[in-house]
Amino acid sequence: MFLFSVVFALISAVQAETNWPEFRGPHGNGHVDGASLPIAIDPSVVRWETPIHGKGWSSPVVWGDQIWLTTATEDGKQMSVICVDRPTGRILHDVVLQENEEPAFCHPMNSYASPTPAIEEGRIYIHFGSYLTVCLDTTSAEVIWQRRDLECDHYRGPASSPILYDGKLYVAYDGFDVQYVVALDKNTGETVWKRDREIDYGTDNGDLKKAYCTSQIIDVGGEKQLVYPSAVASIAYDPQTGETLWTVYHDGMNASARPIDGHGLVFITNGMGAMVAVRPDGSGDVTGSHIEWSAERSVAKKSSLLLVDGLLYMNSDDGVVSCRDPETGEIFWQKRAGGEYAASPIYADGRIYLFSVESDILTLEPGKKFNLLAETKLGDGFMASPAVVGNDLILRSKSKLYCVRK
């Protein structure tokens, strides 16, 4: 029995040791593979904590024993990347990548370091919007390639996170003045394709054309689609060529959540508290034909959705947590948790974890009935979404990086 327990523990540890390569993890949907986490997240389970200078809302990414995140001075004059040793919390690299004499305006709710990097073996891809996109060697933190020529007036600061797929780095520039998506060769940084957003925004006001979205690769009948929300509408592209496959109009600006898919639908939220569930098997403008349902009640404006065991969960900006039927949009329950939410939830070890701007952490049991397992506090509040590697929960608060372990 003892030998079986040891073997089972070793197998579980190996299964749990996956990387966290981009915003919302290896699947882009907040799901964690094989981790064993504490139910209550509080100071008693903090393995180490490391102060992080500056202001940055980018989420941590992890490859092996390296944790990477970006930060910037509050005035935007310096933009940096930091690498932290996962076993100890020691800072391995702290490098200023960009200096700006006169940075553009950034809204106080945002930061100059909000886009989450993307990482793979040996390389990390860091994005500061139009200021800089750069690829670094993860051993030396030396620059492999960089781009500063992709222009865009973010108007209130950049926030879109890049993703990696099939040798390309995909980034959106949905600004006040221009709106486009670009695919870069991950090895050289050269442009593979660039497509202007073919969207009728219905206005000349650039402030209503902004978005801060992260894309998602989905599979539809064996074919890949790159789903990229924007203001007013979302577009699915052929990831190889940038050809537009379908477009759905859903109103709203400032889209920041990453789409998720399941049950034959793609779930898209805008930045104004509304969402649509879209069938992704259409072509052209599918607004009138492929929206399965829509909602404007208790919908998150900033954080992304979570789909677990046939149920759809979200935490809205004003502290309302809800559970819906993903096929119809019917609300099974909604509870006012209090506080404000910007970070996206995760599903790990059979539980849902939520992290508020005011430092509240809620642990829920999934299901059609609300079941709160724990309510705790840690740090000074969360704008960044968490990462999980092995049995380590990596949390970035407004001023510190934490490693939590059972």
Q: What is the pLDDT of residues 115-173, one digit of tens each?
A: 999 999 999 999 999 999 999 999 999 999 999 999 999 999 999 999 999 999 999 99
Task: Report the C-alpha gap between 97 and 158 in whole angstroms.
Answer: 16
Structural domain boundaries, residue 308:
20-404
The verdict on residue 300 lying in a domain is: yes
The verdict on residue 208 lying in a domain is: yes
- Quote the pLDDT of residue 17: 66
Task: Report the C-alpha gap between 173 and 378 in whole angstroms.
Answer: 34
- Quote the pLDDT of residue 4: 42
Q: How many CB atoms lie within 10 A of CB 140?
A: 9
- Quote the pLDDT of residue 27: 96
The verdict on residue 129 lying in a domain is: yes
Strands 320-324, 311-315: pairing kind:
antiparallel
Number of domains in the chain: 1
The verdict on residue 314 lying in a domain is: yes
Task: Report the C-alpha gap between 235 and 386 in whole angstroms.
Answer: 27
The verdict on residue 199 lying in a domain is: yes
For the segment 224-259, what is each residue's pLDDT rounded down to a tens digit?
A: 999 999 999 999 999 999 999 999 999 988 888 999
- 8 A C-beta contact, residue 69 and residue 22: no
- 8 A C-beta contact, residue 174 and residue 209: yes
The verdict on residue 8 lying in a domain is: no
Q: Please report the DSSP string for 151-190 in residue order.
A: ----SS---PPPEEETTEEEEEEE-SS-EEEEEEETTT--
Side-chain-side CA neighbours of residue 102 (13 Å): 0
The verdict on residue 14 lying in a domain is: no
CATH number at residue 298: 2.130.10.10
All residue ranges of the chain with pLDDT < 70 are 1-17
- Quote the pLDDT of residue 337: 87
The verdict on residue 6 lying in a domain is: no
The answer for residues whose C-beta is within 8 angstroms of residue 386's C-beta and 6 or more apart is 59, 60, 343, 346, 353, 355, 393, 394, 395, 396
Task: Report the C-alpha gap between 144 and 97 in whole angstroms.
Answer: 12
Strand partners of residue 355: 361
- Quote the pLDDT of residue 317: 87
- pTM for the full model? 0.94
